């Protein structure tokens, strides 16, 4: 991606890219991949290290780890059985062995097993001294205190060796790791009742437009309730941020600027609406007067083409399109990435798994499209939904995923694979 910087003031005044002076280039229209690369590069280069706080283990779920985590001992700390059966010496079988005792998980066998002997053992129990393999209960014949093993057993079979999972002081988690249920289990395993994590970024959400009223108001026929701010707040929380919903900005310069300046006190500013080319679309003009730099202002996607990303007064902002589908999609594929990086996450991810189309699908080329769809429970099949465009909130609520198309492809047949963005 080319790199040049044009200040927003110059750009709004009509400065062309060819005449721009600076170190970072603005590309007015970019592809989906270029836009994501730009967001990652800009936020990664300039983000400060987030503040750190210590929380209880369960409160750390969904947070980002700030410290390196190491193993406090070998895991497992002793060799243990992975099957119910009998601990034996591999050299003694096939053969008939004398059972001298049993050992279960949570205890150990006090003696040492000798040649020709076996010890009944349960899954998870420490392997007795003298044993070097475990034969499964299904593969033996027990008669009184004798056990018959009819086949050869390999040395170490059905045993987890000491330290095979992790060695003492081995690094298990690095800073910047998102803490899901498996990571919480690991932290509990190594004895971390409290965890140091990065502070959650605060995200200001500012919807714009005279047509928008608050959720508890009764709209006139030419008005709509502020659903975008509510949806964005949920998306922010899911991405590890703390949402701060501001009052709706009117289509007036002074009011929009005042609310925008309030929003810039947060770590990230999300603006919904006002980024198109209409007479009353004031967002870019106000940002320009605040001294903003724009990294791109249009992306070759649908929905969500008029998308603005930049930085002003040391804070990143996204000017998201006002239609609900555009707002939802552009947050998930771009703003979420910035938020995760600002929260200390080392590797923001955008999983786009493949699924099989249930019916034929066609599109015009030129754009990467994110279209409402229903994904089967096992994720193996996906069906595009009929919808009335990016303002169709009922269709968005019925969908549980979005089809993701390739911009240079016109059609897919039923049964072909296509990428999917989970909702």
pLDDT 10s digits, 131-165: 999 999 999 999 999 999 999 999 999 999 999 99
Check if the beta carbon of residue 387 is closer than 8 Å to that of residue 403: no
Is 246 in the same domain as 278? yes
Q: Do you find a cis peptide bond into 76, omega within 30 degrees of 0?
A: yes
**Cβ atoms within 10 A of the Cβ of 163, count?**
17
User: Which of the residues in the chain have pLDDT under 70?
Assistant: 1-28, 275-281
Picking from 147, 173, 198, the residue at the C-terminal end of a domain is 198
Residue 1 forms part of a structural domain: no
Residue with tokens 């070759």: 300
Is 298 in the same domain as 220? yes
Residue 415 forms part of a structural domain: yes
Specify the pairing of strand 354-357 against strand 411-412: unpaired
Residue 279 has a pLDDT of 54
Is 259 in the same domain as 368? no
Residue 140 forms part of a structural domain: yes
Is 120 in the same domain as 156? yes
Number of domains in the chain: 4
Question: What does the alpha-carbon distance between residue 159 and residue 126 come to, in Å, rounded to a whole number?
Answer: 9
DSSP string, 95-125: EEEEEEEEE-TT----SB--TTEEEEE-TTP
CATH number at residue 130: 2.170.190.11
Is 177 in the same domain as 61? yes
Question: What does the alpha-carbon distance between residue 210 and residue 171 come to, in Å, rounded to a whole number?
Answer: 54
Is 27 in the same domain as 58? no
CATH number at residue 239: 3.40.980.10
Residue 347 forms part of a structural domain: no
Residue 68 has a pLDDT of 98
- CA distances to 233, 245, 286, 336, 393 from 214, rounded to whole Å, are 14, 11, 23, 24, 17
Is 220 in the same domain as 235? yes
Residue 328 has a pLDDT of 94
- The domain containing residue 136 runs over which residues? 80-160
Question: What does the alpha-carbon distance between residue 26 and residue 182 come to, in Å, rounded to a whole number?
Answer: 41
CATH number at residue 60: 3.90.105.10
* Residue 249 bridge partners (DSSP): 208
Is 184 in the same domain as 217? no
Picking from 160, 190, 219, the residue at the C-terminal end of a domain is 160
pTM: 0.84
CATH number at residue 395: 2.40.340.10
Is 204 in the same domain as 289? yes
Q: Which two tokens stand for residue 358?
A: 């249930």
Residue 87 forms part of a structural domain: yes
What residues contact 45, with CB distance under 8 A and at least 6 apart? none
Residue 280 has a pLDDT of 47
Residue 245 has a pLDDT of 97
Residue 3 forms part of a structural domain: no
């Amino acid at each position: 991606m080319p790199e040049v910087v044009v200040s927003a003031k110059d750009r709004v005044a009509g400065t062309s890219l060819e005449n721009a002076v600076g170190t970072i280039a603005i590309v007015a229209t970019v592809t989906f991949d270029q836009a994501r690369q730009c967001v990652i590069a800009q936020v990664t280069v300039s983000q400060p290290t987030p503040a750190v706080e210590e929380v209880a283990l369960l409160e750390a779920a969904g947070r980002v780890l700030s410290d390196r985590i190491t193993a406090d001992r070998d895991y497992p700390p002793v060799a243990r059985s992975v099957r119910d059966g009998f601990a034996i010496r591999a050299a003694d079988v096939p053969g008939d062995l004398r059972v001298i005792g049993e050992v279960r998980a949570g205890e150990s066998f006090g003696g040492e097993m000798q040649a020709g002997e076996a010890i009944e053992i349960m899954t998870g129990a420490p392997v007795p001294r003298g044993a070097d393999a475990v034969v499964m209960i299904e593969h033996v014949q027990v008669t009184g205190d004798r056990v018959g093993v009819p086949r050869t057993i390999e040395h170490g079979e059905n045993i987890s060796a000491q330290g095979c999972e992790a060695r003492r002081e081995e690094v298990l988690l690095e800073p910047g790791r998102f803490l899901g249920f498996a990571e919480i289990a690991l932290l509990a395993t190594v004895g971390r009742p409290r965890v140091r994590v990065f502070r959650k970024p605060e995200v200001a959400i500012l919807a714009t437009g005279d047509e928008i009223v608050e959720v508890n108001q009764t709209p006139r026929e030419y008005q709509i309730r502020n659903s975008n701010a509510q949806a964005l707040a949920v998306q922010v929380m899911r991405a590890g941020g703390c949402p701060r919903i501001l009052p709706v900005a009117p289509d007036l310069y002074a009011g929009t600027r005042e609310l925008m300046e309030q929003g810039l006190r947060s770590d990230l500013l999300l603006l919904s609406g006002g980024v198109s080319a209409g007479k009353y679309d004031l967002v870019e003009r106000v940002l320009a007067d605040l001294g903003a730099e724009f990294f791109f202002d249009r992306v070759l996607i649908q929905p969500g083409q008029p998308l603005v990303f930049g930085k002003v007064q040391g804070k990143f902002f996204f000017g998201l399109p006002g239609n609900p589908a555009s707002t939802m999609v552009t947050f998930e594929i771009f703003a979420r990435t910035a938020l995760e990086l600002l929260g200390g996450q080392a590797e923001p991810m955008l999983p786009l798994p493949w699924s099989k189309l249930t019916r034929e699908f066609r599109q015009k080329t030129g754009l990467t499209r994110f279209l409402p769809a229903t994904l089967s429970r096992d994720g193996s099949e996906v069906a595009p939904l009929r919808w009335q465009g990016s303002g169709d909130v009922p269709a968005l609520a019925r969908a549980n995923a979005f089809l993701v198309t390739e911009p240079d492809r016109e059609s897919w047949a039923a049964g072909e694979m296509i990428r999917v963005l989970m909702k």
